[in-house]
Structure 1
Amino acid sequence: MQQLDPTIFDIARPDQKSSLGEESASGHYRRSTSLGFLTTCSPLLAGFYNYWNEKRGNRPMPSRADLDPIDMKRWLPGIIIVDVLENPRRLVYRLVGSRSVALRQADVTGKTVVEAYHGTSLGDVLENYRLVIDEHRVVYDAEQKPSGSGLLKDSETLLLPLSSDGTKVDKVIVYIEVANT
């Protein structure tokens, strides 16, 4: 994984707690809604964005049906699909890849994001989803956390909108990439 450039999208979060209740080791949380992340993100993450972008064509976003699991084989361990349910809004994990299960040490399929989120804070996670669902934005989220070995682990997350009707986001596809540095 390429080193993240902290000058692109660095929001200081010195006292932020992670979903595991641990202090952020780096004190930084990075979120971007521009495509600038493509110059510094991992090649697999960039490849996943390019696949999604190809499948949407000239539409704002593809549908879930446009994505072929056979074509996505190299990304499947890092894939999460979240259903967007309205009135009231609920975000429910429909599919959770093995990478996410290993990070969480639990399979959260069927649970809501509020119940089982993984990230710096619930507020940050929900803001990522809001940007994708309400503003139809691509969201790149990156952070560094200590691993069990004490080494820093770069974590990159890409959230992309999916729509059955081409207008309303009814699913969010997430891709997670993690590497030791």
Structure 2
Amino acid sequence: MKEAVSQSLFNYWNDLRGDRPAPKRFEIEPSAIAHHLPDTFILERADYATLPFRLAGTRISEAFGMELRGKNLLGLFNERDSEILQRQMSLITSQAAVGVFEISAHDGKGHATAFEVTILPLVHTRDVVERYLGSVAPIDRPQWLGLVPLPHRSLVRHKLIWPNGTAASEIEAIDRQTPFYPTVREARIVKSARRQFRVYEGGLSRVHTER
């Protein structure tokens, strides 16, 4: 994570979860992140391919020139990028990982900029991840941002941060623990741009990589 908003939100989420894989939705206090609320959002997991925005900060909506509440996250991207996001969100959900994405957005007329998007899992009414706290932070902040709609979006790079601290060199060789077993606090980045993970359900999920 490079952007201050992403780092601040991650640190808040990480402190809040303690030794758990993820905090509960009702534990999030808006007043604790008041300074970043215009840049934050809440996603809901309706089903595997439907992730609507329940809330979206004003600076996010202004940056993209559209009201995001109720829109499906996966529907904001082309089919290829949507499939990648769907796989990443599946891992964020099943393994309580944290997703960090860089996206590019433009208007097709010469206005273009990049954003860092962070997605953090939240446990909702059951002991499963059904909500997500996130942020959208412009990597550069051009003067026209918020005045020019950016209807074209693409995924540039992405990575996952694992709350259980499994190192990248280990991930291909071992079975990952399930997310609701005891974990340690340190997070390690084990996902880099364009490498994909496949999760096979049943017992302890085994994670394989695809290039």
Q: Unpaired runs of 5+ in structure 2? A: 142-211
Tell me the CA shift for residue 101 of structure 1: 0.8
Inter-partner Cα distance in structure 2 for 1:154 and 1:82: 21
For the pair 1:74 / 2:28, whether they are aligned, the reply is no
Contact 2:52 2:72 in 1 (8 A): yes
Counterpart-to-counterpart distance in 2, 1:151 and 1:112: 24
My pick for the range that moved more, 138-147 or 171-180, is 138-147
Structure 1 residues 104, 118: closer, same or farther in 2, change over 3 A? farther
Q: Does 1:43 align with 2:4?
A: yes
Contact 1:60 1:166 (8 Å CA) reproduced: no
Q: TM-score, normalised by structure 1?
A: 0.65
Query: Structure 1 pair 145/138, CA: closer, same or farther in 2 (3 Å)?
Result: same
Question: Does the C-alpha gap of structure 1 residues 128 and 103 become closer, same or farther in structure 2, counting only changes over 3 Å?
Answer: farther
Query: 1:89-108, aligned counterparts within 5 Å?
Result: 90-108=50-68
Alpha-carbon distance between aligned partners in 2 of 1:93 and 1:144, rounded to the nearest angstrom: 19
Conserved in 1, the CA contact under 8 Å of 2:39 and 2:135? yes
Deviations 1:36-91 (A, max 9, x none): x3xxx1122111100010111111101111111111111111111111124x6632
State the 1:153 CA deviation: 2.7
Q: Which consecutive segments of 4 or more residues in structure 1 shift more than 4 A?
A: 144-152
Instruction: Quote the Cα distance in structure 2 between the aligned partners of 1:90 and 1:145.
Output: 22
Q: Aligned runs of 1:133-148 on 2, under 5 Å? A: 133-145=93-105
Map 1:83-122 → 2, pairs under 5 A: 83-86=44-47, 90-115=50-75, 117=76, 121-122=81-82
Q: Supply the AA of the counterpart residue of 2:20.
A: R
One-letter identity of the residue aligned with 1:48: L
Q: Secondary structure at the match of 2:45?
A: strand
In the alignment, residue 95 of structure 1 is paired with which amino acid? L
Q: Is the 8 A contact 1:151 1:180 kept in 2?
A: no
1:128 paired residue number: 88
> 5+ residue gaps in structure 1?
1-36
The TM-score, its normalising length taken from structure 2, stands at: 0.57
Number of matched residues?
Answer: 140
Deviation of 1:167 (Å) = 3.5
Structure 2 counterpart SS, 1:153: strand
1:171 and 2:131 correspond:
yes
Q: Percent same amino acid at aligned positions?
A: 21
The secondary structure found in structure 1 opposite 2:30 is: coil
Q: Which of these two proteins has the greater Rg computed from alpha carbons?
A: 2
- Matched with 1:160 is 120
Structure 1 distance, partners of 2:74, 2:107, is: 24
- Which amino acid letter does the alignment assign opposite residue 180 of structure 1? D
Q: Deviation at 1:145?
A: 4.8
Give the C-alpha shift of residue 128 in structure 1: 3.0
Moved more, 141-150 or 68-77: 141-150
Deviation larger for 126-135 or 59-68: 126-135
- Aligned-pair CA distance for 1:126: 2.0
Q: Secondary structure of 1:72's match? A: helix
